Amino acid sequence: HGREFFVLIEGTADVMQGGNKIGRLLGPGDFFGEIALISKAPRSATITTTSPVRALVITDRAFRHLLDHAPNIQIGVLLALAERLAPTSL
């Protein structure tokens, strides 16, 4: 299960599932790890860096605190969740 939320600061990465690239190339400002944190489920994809990367790593506890106290971040995460989960729920 995922225990961290990641925000890319520098560099790029691909989202991989079953050895195949899915979605777009991630870059600075993009984030991942929220689905596993919120659902308490195993991670649904693997992130593979395509260049040297620096990332902000936020623990589960800090992530929940952030969502409780920063409504703008909460909305951004919810929008990303809706976008990422929509194709899988049809």
Instruction: Specify the CATH number for the domain of residue 58.
Output: 2.60.120.10
**Which domain range does residue 31 map to?**
4-88
Distances (CA, A) of 44 to 16, 39, 52, 53, 83: 9, 11, 23, 21, 14
Return the C-alpha torsion angle 21, 23, 29, 35, nearest 10: -90
pLDDT grade for 77, boundaries at 50, 70 and 90: confident
Reported as half-sphere exposure (CB side, CA atoms, 13 A), residue 31 has a value of 21
Give the integer Cα–Cα distance in Å for 40 and 33.
11
- What is the DSSP secondary structure assignment for residue 13, as one 8-state letter? E
pLDDT grade for 90, boundaries at 50, 70 and 90: low
Computed over every residue of the chain, the mean pLDDT equals: 89
Q: Residue type for 80, please?
A: A
Domain count, the chain: 1
∠ CA 22-42-51, nearest 5°, is 45
pLDDT of residue 55: 98
Least confident residue range of 43-57, 58-72, 73-87: 73-87
